[in-house]
Chain A
Amino acid sequence: MISHNSPALIPLISLGSAIALPLIAFKKKALAHPFTLLVSFTMVILSFYNIARVWQGERITYHFGGWLPPVGIEYLLDPLSAFIACVINTVAFFVLIHAGGILEREVPHRTVPYYALILLFLCGANGIIITGDVFNLYVFLEIFSLAGYGLIAVGERAAVVASFRYLILGTLGASFYLLGVGFLYIVTGSLNMADLKRIIAVIPVNPALIAALALMVTGMALKMALFPLHGWLPDAYTYAPSTTSALIAPIGTKVAAYVLIRLLFFVFGIKITVDTIPLLDVIGYMAAAGVLYGSLLAIAQKEMKRMLAYSSVAQIGYIGIGLSLANPMGYIGAVLHILNHAFMKGALFLVAGNLRNGSGHSEIPRFDARLRKKYPGGMAAFSVAALSMIGIPPMAGFFSKWYLSLGAVEKSNWVMLAVILISSLLNAVYFTRIWERVYLIKGNEENDDTLLQEKEPLILLVPTLILSFSLILLGLGNSFLVTKIIARIIPPGM
Chain B
Amino acid sequence: MSNFAYISVAILLTLGIYGMVLKKNLVKKLIGMTILQVAVIMFFIASAVKGGATVPVLDERLGIPNPIHYISPLQHCLMLTAIVVGVATSGVAFALAILIYRRFKTLDEGILLQRMGEK
| A185 near B47: Cβ-Cβ < 8 Å | yes
Chain A residues whose C-beta falls within 8 Å of the C-beta of B7 in the assembled complex: none
A135 and B96 contact, Cβ closer than 8 Å, known pairs A158-B116, A172-B17, A182-B47: no
Instruction: Give the complex CA separation of A138 and B81 in angstroms.
Output: 10
Minimum CB–CB distance for B39 against chain A, Å: 8
Residue B119 is within 8 A (CB to CB) of chain A in the complex? yes
Q: Does A153 contact B (CB under 8 A)?
A: yes
B29 lies within 8 A of A168 (CB): yes
The residues of B that contact A186 with a CB separation of less than 8 Å are 47
| Among all A-B residue pairs, the 5 with the closest Cβ atoms | A160-B99, A164-B96, A142-B85, A158-B116, A160-B100
Interface flag for B71 (CB, 8 Å): no
Residue of A nearest to B16 (CB): A175
A167 & B82 in contact (Cβ 8 Å cutoff)? no
User: Nearest CB to that of A141 among chain B residues?
Assistant: B85
Task: Kindly state the separation between the CA atoms of A168 and B34 in the bound complex, as whole angstroms.
Answer: 11
A149, A157, A172: the one contacting B96 at CB < 8 Å is: A149
A139 within 8 Å of B (CB atoms): yes
1/0 per residue, CB under 8 A from B, across A172-205: the answer is 1001001100100110000000000000000000
Give chain A's interface secondary structure class.
helix
Report whether B36 and A172 are in contact in the complex, using a CB–CB cutoff of 8 Å: yes
With A172-B17, A185-B75 given, is the CB distance from A167 to B47 under 8 Å?
no
Q: Are B92 and A175 neighbours in the complex by a CB distance under 8 Å? A: no
Which of chain B's residues have a CB closer than 8 A to the CB of A301? none
Chain B 9-45: CB-based contact to A (< 8 A → 1; otherwise 0): 0000100010010000010010001001100100110
Rounded to whole Å, the gap between the CB of A153 and the closest CB of chain B is 6
Name which of B44, B85, B104 has the most chain A CB atoms within 10 A of its CB. Answer: B85
Chain A residues in 8 Å Cβ range of B82 = 138, 178
* Closest residue of A by beta carbon distance from B93: A167
Q: Judge whether B89 is part of the interface by a CB distance below 8 angstroms.
A: yes
> When A157-B119, A160-B96, A185-B75 are in contact, do A139 and B37 touch as well, CB less than 8 Å?
no
Mostly, the B contact residues are: helix
| Distance from A165 Cβ to chain B, minimum over Cβ atoms (Å) | 9
Q: Which of B33, B85, B92, B104 lies in contact with A149, CB distance below 8 A? A: B92
Least CB separation from A150: chain B residue: B92
Instruction: Report the Cα distance A153→B26, complex, angstroms.
Output: 16
> Does B1 reach chain A (CB closer than 8 Å)?
no
| Chain B residues near A149 (CB-CB < 8 A) | 92, 96
Pick the most buried of A150, A157, A160, A172: most chain B CB atoms within 10 A of its CB: A160
State how many angstroms separate the Cβ of A487 from the closest Cβ of chain B: 37
Q: A163 at the A/B interface (Cβ < 8 Å)?
A: yes
**A157 vs B118: C-alpha distance when bound (angstroms):** 12
**In the bound complex, do residue A146 and residue B40 qualify as a contact, i.e. CB atoms below 8 Å apart?**
no
Residues of B within 8 Å of A153, CB to CB, are 96, 99
**Contact: B88 with A146, CB < 8 Å?**
yes
Contact with B along A296-319 (1 / 0, CB 8 A): 000000000000000000000000
The digit string for A108-150, where 1 denotes a CB below 8 A from any CB of B, is 0000000000000000000000000001001100100010011
Q: A68 near B: Cβ within 8 Å? A: no
